Amino acid sequence: MFMSIHNLLLQVIEEQLRKCGYKRNLDVAELYLGRKGLKEVTDLSRFRMLKFLWLNHNKITRITCLSNNWQLSELYLNNNEICDITGCLKHLTSLHTLLLNNNRLANLQATATELKGMTNLQILSLFNNPLAQESSYRPYIIHYIPSVQRLDRQKVVQKERDNAFKIFNPERTAVIQSLGFGRRTDSVLATKSTSKSSLRKSVPSSGNDGSVDRKNPDALEVLLLRTYQRSLMQYSLLDWTKIPSARQKRTGEQPLDKPQLLTLKFR
């Protein structure tokens, strides 16, 4: 059975090489193996300069043929029977386009983990997979694979990125929102616990204009309290001394703590 599949694949590949006029394996930049009824594909590592590969519309269940094809830029795996891609694609960091729609991928987290290291990946299709039915599917992919510019044939807009960030990183969102913004808090600095209402009632006036009678000791005391009634400006800043350096993060010399805020008040 294996020999028949292997022979079928070799026959298909040789036919493609002949059509394209390739003489050496290093000359092969693209291979079209779509719609060939393939259930599995053996190692393609001999084509080290391969950049474009079509394996769409087959019956492939798992990808095990791309261990040394580092140069791949476009990979078409749509319309197959792939259930899991864990450990199969993450080394293909040159990928720009990846089509995996119409398969059987069910684990959203595992799929995103496999792809998140692809910093050049801009076009990604995952629709018509079980994982795409999850309510958080699109924001999850946008957040954990930030290089993607077009997901499932739809452009990723900045508003989607902002919303995804708020959903999956709420603590950092709170820190960012507090940095650089003054938050006003009304408070009264006084030597007595006198309410505003009692102050108004106790202020004697010497005219219709409501001015304070400065000859009256009680009035002067109330005026003094008024001068201490101020609006405070409160600023929250991130305490960078509590943030471990990149080296400390790598070596684990210092435990990772939650970000701490320093609060400064000005009258």
Is residue 92 very low, low, confident or very high in pLDDT (cuts 50, 70, 90)?
Answer: very high
Decide if pLDDT at 61 tops 80: yes
Highest mean pLDDT among 201-210, 214-223, 243-252: 243-252
Q: Are 74 and 52 in contact (CB under 8 A)?
A: yes
- Give the pLDDT of residue 211: 54
pTM score: 0.65
pLDDT in tens, 158-191: 999 999 999 988 766 566 555 555 444 444 334 4
- Give the pLDDT of residue 42: 84
* Closest among 135, 73, 137 to 105, alpha carbons compared: 137
The CATH architecture one would assign to domain 2-168 is: Alpha-Beta Horseshoe (3.80)
- Give the pLDDT of residue 16: 86
Q: Are 34 and 57 in contact (CB under 8 A)?
A: yes
Look at 74 and 21; give whichever has higher pLDDT: 74
Considering the chain, tell me which residue range(s) the CATH 3.80.10.10 domain(s) occupy.
Answer: 2-168
Look at 66 and 245; give whichever has higher pLDDT: 66
Q: How far apart are CA 199 and CA 7, in angstroms?
A: 97
Which long-range contacts link 202-206 to residues 24+ away (Cβ below 8 Å)?
A: none
CA-angle at 139, arms to 137 and 141, nearest 5°: 70
Q: Which strands make up the sheet holding 229-238, listed edge to edge?
A: 182-188, 229-238, 261-266
